[in-house]
Structure 1
Amino acid sequence: MPYTNEEGGRLNNFASEPKVYKAEPPTNSQKRNYIILGILAASFVSAIIFVAFSVSNVSS
């Protein structure tokens, strides 16, 4: 661990820094998969809300 000496003789301990790298943009197949998963997630949430309203006892 990297220690540094400060004024007065105190030791200061710094965390080791992670390796930095550039993120790569998603490929076309990854973009397509994100769109498909987004549509599936939206339809799943819509179905859950529909079921919740259809089985509730609240009349409007």
Structure 2
Amino acid sequence: MYTTDENGTLNNYAVVPKMSYAQYPSPDQQRRYALQGAGAVLLVTFLVLTAFAA
């Protein structure tokens, strides 16, 4: 979308998408998020301990 003034200058505007609301995660999704978080914590802990050992 754009407008033109009397000098011929163009002003561009972004097209705003329709807003949608997020849905609260189901218990199964919450469980998967918790497992992913635990895996990430274990990975980072392993990497930090490996760095200290080296």
TM-score bin (small chain):
0.7 to 0.9
What's the Cα RMSD here? 1.5
Q: Which residue of 2 aligns with 1:58?
A: none
The 4+ residue runs of structure 1 with deviation greater than 6 A are none
Show structure 2 runs of 5+ residues with no match: none
Show structure 1 runs of 5+ residues with no match: 56-60
TM-score by length of 1: 0.71
CA distance in 2, matches of 1:32, 1:3: 47
TM-score by length of 2: 0.77
Give 1 or 2 for the bigger CA radius of gyration: 1
Q: How many residues align?
A: 52
Percent pairwise identity: 35
